[in-house]
Amino acid sequence: MRKVLLFSLFILLAGCYPDGPEYTDELDSVYTNYSPDFNFSQTYTYSLPDGVIDVSGSQNFNPDFIDTNFSNAIINSLRTNLNAQGWTEVDENDDPDIIVLAAAMDSNFLYYSVDWWGWYYPGYFPGWGWYYPGYFPTYVSGFSVGTIVIQMTSPSGIADNQVPVEWVCVINGLLEGSDAYIIDRIDANIDQAFMQSPFNN
Amino acid sequence: MKIKIVLAAIFSLICAQGFSQDSFGSVNYSIGFPSGDLKDFTDNVSGRGVAVDYAFMLKSNVSIGFGIGLQTFYEEKGYSSLTDGTQTLSGKQFNYVNALPLYINGAYYFGNSPNVKPYLGIGLGTMYVDKRADIGIFEVVNDGWAFLVKPEVGLQYKAAANIGLNLSYRYNYASDIDNVGSMTYSSVMIGAVWFY
């Protein structure tokens, strides 16, 4: 009798494990933060680099671009969303109001350096850093998954070698599935990042 | 501190068992119905619960005992955005609560039927609550110990000399825990009883 009762107890306890995410895209998340002083209702000129740099666990200052398919998907999605705000794309040497930078990594996020963008950023000098005017983004670390970091910087606000980051977005998800499936998720998540931020709201 | 008091009480009861003449144990399947803060966090009825109780008769119609339970609540909240100041985190949200009540029990049995015993009980103890909200690979975890008061109404049916059935309704009132809230729930229990 006791064996039957103990077995019943085991079955009951085994049944206590609840459900959870079943599909890869159910683990995607979008984090955004912004400077409370930045005027999102205004339109700006902006520049975008040709590609998304790969900073996977890298500490060197000459990062590569990520796979062209994913890089194009991210850049095109950013361009579509920024143009939808009425912003105008210009060359980085044409004095843009905003410079948008995108990086991706597929391992632990150790640190994120301005030096990685020295090849692109107009007027760059080694030793520059970031600053987040009026806010501080949650530090992201310890992931073994795909992460895209997008920063919207304002070159006119550079002071003491510090580049102001007006808006930051961290998109996180598992690197699983076909390229087309990952690109669909990238598009949807970048759209969500713009939707949950105060652009033109 | 609460846990020490409950463990001391359970130990006392085990020691006191030598003076008892009859005792019984039970294993119950528990269906949990959330209320209050718990209902806001996970609205679903929980079919994932179990309780194990042991009691001995002080008199023919009064028992005292102890028990432990586990009830797991879960709700898939869908795509959600959590905003705090200028920061927002979006993703599909999954909420979980594991409630583990640990208590001492007293019960009074009505009627003179040897086989069917309706009863009223009251339990006091503590409830460990583990509350989790998952968005993407992020997890927000809060936990703590609540004070537990557990009134109960039920029916015990003695089917044979040493085996029976239990059917009862419990109200598990849990006090407020910082960052968790009050994880109060009701439960309908059905289970097996064995008599010594």
Facing residue for B89 by CB, picked from A12, A31, A34:
A31
pLDDT at A137: 65
- Does B69 or A50 have the greater pLDDT score? B69
- The list of chain B residues with pLDDT below 70 reads 1-21
The predicted model gives A5-27 an average pLDDT of: 65
Q: Is position A91 within any domain?
A: yes
- Does A8 or A131 have the greater pLDDT score? A131
At residue A111 the predicted structure's pLDDT band, cuts being 50, 70 and 90, is low
Which has the closest alpha carbon to A197: A159, A171, A160?
A171
pLDDT at B49: 95
Q: Is position A127 within any domain?
A: yes
What is the residue extent of each domain of chain B? 2-7+26-195
Between chains, do B136 and A15 touch, taking CB under 8 Å as contact? no
Between chains, do A13 and B88 touch, taking CB under 8 Å as contact? no
Least confident of A3-7, A46-50, B180-184: A3-7
Q: Is position A148 within any domain?
A: yes
Is 80 exceeded by the pLDDT of residue A181? Answer: yes
How far away is chain B from the Cα of A126, in angstroms, using its nearest Cα?
A: 30
Q: Is position A14 within any domain?
A: no
Q: Distance (Å, rounded) from C-alpha A148 to C-alpha B187?
A: 45
How far away is chain A from the Cα of B191, in angstroms, using its nearest Cα?
A: 10
Q: Is position A11 within any domain?
A: no
- Does A27 or A127 have the greater pLDDT score? A27
Is 80 exceeded by the pLDDT of residue A51? Answer: yes
- How many angstroms from the chain centroid is the CA of residue B187? 8
A196: contact with B, CB 8 A cutoff: yes
Between chains, do A30 and B52 touch, taking CB under 8 Å as contact? no
Domains held by chain A: number = 1
Facing residue for B137 by CB, picked from A9, A19, A29:
A29
In chain B, residues with a C-beta closer than 8 Å to the C-beta of A30 are: 88-91
- A vs B, Cβ pairs < 8 A, gives 87
Q: Distance (Å, rounded) from C-alpha A99 to C-alpha B85?
A: 24
pLDDT at A143: 45
Is 80 exceeded by the pLDDT of residue A34? Answer: yes
B165: contact with A, CB 8 A cutoff: no
Which has the closest alpha carbon to A114: A96, A124, A129?
A129
In chain B, residues with a C-beta closer than 8 Å to the C-beta of A34 are: 86
pLDDT at B112: 87
Structural domain boundaries enclosing A58: 21-195
Which has the closest alpha carbon to A138: B153, B83, B32?
B83
The predicted model gives A156-177 an average pLDDT of: 85
Is 80 exceeded by the pLDDT of residue A114? Answer: no
At residue A138 the predicted structure's pLDDT band, cuts being 50, 70 and 90, is low
pLDDT tens per residue across span A53-70: 887 755 556 677 888 999
Angle B42-B45-B47 from CA coordinates, rounded to 5°: 120
The predicted model gives A103-113 an average pLDDT of: 65
pLDDT at A3: 60
Between chains, do A33 and B92 touch, taking CB under 8 Å as contact? no
Q: Is position A51 within any domain?
A: yes
Between chains, do A20 and B162 touch, taking CB under 8 Å as contact? no
User: What CATH number did the domain enclosing A125 receive?
Assistant: 3.30.160.670
In chain A, residues with a C-beta closer than 8 Å to the C-beta of B90 are: 29-31, 192, 196
Provide ipTM, 2 decimals: 0.79
B91: contact with A, CB 8 A cutoff: yes
Q: Is position A13 within any domain?
A: no
What long-range pairs does B141-147 form, CB within 8 A, spacing at least 24? B142/B177, B142/B179, B142/B180, B143/B180, B144/B177, B144/B178, B144/B179, B144/B180, B145/B2, B145/B3, B145/B177, B146/B174, B146/B175, B146/B176, B146/B177, B146/B180, B146/B182, B146/B183, B147/B2, B147/B174, B147/B175
Mean pLDDT of chain A: 80
Which residues lie closer than 8 Å to B28 by C-beta, 6 or more apart?
B50, B51, B52, B53, B166, B168, B189, B190, B191
- CATH code at B2-7+26-195: 2.40.160.20
